[in-house]
Amino acid sequence: MKRFLGFIIAIAVCLSTVFAVGCSCSSCGCGQDSNRSLYEIECELSGDTLECTQQFTFYNNFENSVKQLKFNLFANAFRKDAKYSPILSQHISLAYPNGINYGEMTVKSVSQDGSALGFSIGGEDCNVLIVDLKEEVFPDESVTINMAWTVKLADVVARTGINADTINLANFYPILCGYDNGFYECVYYGIGDPYFSDCADYVVKVTADENLVVAGGGKITSESKNKGKKTTEFSLSNARSFAMVLSSKFQTISANVGNTKITYYYYDDESPDKSLNFAKTSMQLFNNTFGAYPYSTYSVVQTKFVQGGMEFPTITFISDNIEGTAYGEVIVHETAHQWWQTVVGNNEVEYGFLDEGLAEYSVVWYFENFPEHGYTRKSLINSAEQTYRVFCSVVDRLEGKVNTEMLRSLGEFSTEYEYVNIAYLKTCVMYDYLRTTIGDENFFKGLKKYYSQYAFTNAGPYDIVGIYEKLGLGTNGFFESFYSGKAII
């Protein structure tokens, strides 16, 4: 998720600033105990170009046989002739401080057992690699393919890009499309987080200038230097994706929470201990409230970033453009995403509110438990409600009708403003209303059950409804009223 510069804190501090501006797929090939696909990636960074190879072992955990594999090519969204811009118009000047420029992802070869495979670039916006396999792969069988590609990095402050301070390398490799009765092709919309993928294992080697510190997902398993270059190897198991940030300016500070080592990478923070403490205390709270964080590492990385923050498995990007308590709030929100998206996943293109709303309510829960920051549950929910009501009023006056339905894909939102109010604020308020209605014990019991039951799978919008129904709470009508837009806030 993109955290929008400490949104809920910002509206609590200065509300006028804000005014100025289905189905379930929980059975889809992504379980804790099943065989998982394996990405073995090697890449070398030279200037603004990343040369990569990937050996990909696909395990068919689906109910159907597969003759063709499809991979999302997210980095290709930065090319000159892209149909959808990865940067919204209102963020162009911040994202491209040196002027608009372009990147590109080029697939050079795909092979199996040493023989070339047929492949094509398709999708709605040249965003999907389509690979024809030699033979049909049946359930519980596997196949290994090799591919080579190049990423030309744009000079852009985004998930994937290079700038004077940091090199952001998310979405730099072909990632298998998430599976829901077929491979789901993600369009890289500028609104929201246009992702949907299943869990896999990763071994990633990156070679770059030896002066660059690499903050990546998972564990560092080896480092070696040769002729001014450094190769760093990472291992990450049961994760939806892999991301990293490189910088020659990084300093680090660490802390342990249970069996997890948290490392904060920063270069412009006068109070790194405070920033690390937000990550530490939120992880402790969420462990106790929702269930244990399952990974042994967690990296919080300060970087150049056009939005407030962005979560990836075991690593989050935090924008250096945020100050004060809002910076800590973004850390808390992104840490919450380690529960609500990293572990319990969902199709973020179709149902972005699922993880965003829970992550945002987790922020409310955090400040409720740490009142020394000056925010209460009541003040934060009241601010969210008031901002949402103003949104409804403004849109109603301008367009004659406001659409408050929640079951919408990213492509159905007309503006980022609309998406934030529905996916973040309305959903956050919905959970507070639910908590008030059924009581704290039932509310948090349901979230614990949701976390444990759907860990490492992709949940649909009615899976959490089913959790509370099975607790005998009769909440189906409650959720439906919010999902359909009939509930009045």
**pLDDT confidence of 191, banded at 50, 70, 90?**
very high
Residue 241, pLDDT > 80, answer yes
Mean per-residue pLDDT of the chain: 93
Query: What does the alpha-carbon distance between residue 223 and residue 63 come to, in Å, rounded to a whole number?
Result: 40
Residue 166, pLDDT > 80, answer yes
Alpha helix stretches (DSSP H) within 314-462: 324-336, 353-369, 377-399, 416-419, 427-438, 440-453
Residue 1, pLDDT > 80, answer no
More confident residue, 241 or 401: 241
Helix (H, G, I), strand (E, B) or coil at 382: helix
For the chain, what are the domain ranges? 37-242
pLDDT at 30: 52
**pLDDT confidence of 488, banded at 50, 70, 90?**
confident
Q: Give the residues across from 239 on adjacent strands.
A: 200
pLDDT at 27: 40
The residue type found at 326 is: A
Structure tokens at 64: 């159907």
pLDDT at 4: 42
**pLDDT confidence of 21, banded at 50, 70, 90?**
very low
Residue 410, pLDDT > 50, answer yes
Beta strands in 190-228 (DSSP E): 200-209, 213-216, 219-226
Per-residue pLDDT, averaged over 14-18, amounts to 34
Per-residue pLDDT, averaged over 290-301, amounts to 98
User: Do residues 189 and 177 touch, judged by C-beta distance below 8 A?
Assistant: no
Per-residue pLDDT, averaged over 130-154, amounts to 97
Residue 2, pLDDT > 60, answer no
Per-residue pLDDT, averaged over 167-173, amounts to 98
Residue 99, pLDDT > 50, answer yes
Query: What does the alpha-carbon distance between residue 40 and residue 237 come to, in Å, rounded to a whole number?
Result: 12
Per-residue pLDDT, averaged over 470-483, amounts to 97
CA angle 105, 233, 261 (to 5 degrees): 115
User: What CATH number is given for 37-242 in this structure?
Assistant: 2.60.40.1730
Helix (H, G, I), strand (E, B) or coil at 343: helix
Q: Give the chain's length.
A: 489
Predicted TM-score (pTM) of the model is: 0.94
pLDDT at 23: 39
